[in-house]
Structure 1
Amino acid sequence: MPIDIVPEWMKNLEEEDITFIKKFVLASGSLKEMAKVYDVTYPTVRLRLDKLIDKIHINDRETNEPYVSLIKRLAVDDKIDFDTAKILIQAYKKQMREEADE
Structure 2
Amino acid sequence: MSLSATPAWLANLDDEDLAFIRRFVLASGSMKEVAGEYGVSYPTVRLRLDRLIQKIRLGEQAESDPYVTLVRRLAVDGRVDVDTARVLIAAYRDAAKER
Q: Which runs of 4+ in 1 moved over 3 A?
A: none
Alignment-derived partner of residue 98 in structure 1: 98
Aligned-residue offset at 1:3: 2.2
TM-score (ref. length: structure 1): 0.90
Q: Secondary structure of the residue that 1:44 maps to in structure 2? A: helix
Aligned partner of 1:97: which letter? K
The answer on 1:3 being equivalent to 2:24 is: no
Aligned-residue offset at 1:35: 0.6
Aligned-residue offset at 1:12: 1.5
Aligned partner of 2:2: which letter? I
| 8 Å Cα contact 1:31-1:42 kept in structure 2 | yes
Structure exhibiting the larger radius of gyration computed from Cα positions: 1
The answer on 1:56 being equivalent to 2:56 is: yes
Matched-pair identity in %? 52
Alignment-derived partner of residue 77 in structure 1: 77
Q: Distance in 1 between the 2:75 and 2:58 partners?
A: 11
Alignment-derived partner of residue 16 in structure 1: 16
Superposed CA offset, 1:30-54 (max 9, x none):
1011111111111110010001001
Q: Distance in 2 between the 1:62 and 1:71 partners?
A: 15
| Coordinate RMSD, CA, aligned | 1.1
Aligned partner of 1:74: which letter? L
Alignment-derived partner of residue 86 in structure 1: 86
Query: Gaps spanning 5+ residues in structure 2: where?
Result: none
Q: Distance in 1 between the 2:31 and 2:22 partners?
A: 13
Q: Distance in 2 between the 1:62 and 1:17 partners?
A: 21
Aligned partner of 2:64: which letter? N
Aligned-residue offset at 1:95: 1.3
Query: Gaps spanning 5+ residues in structure 1: where?
Result: none
Q: Secondary structure of the residue that 1:80 maps to in structure 2? A: coil
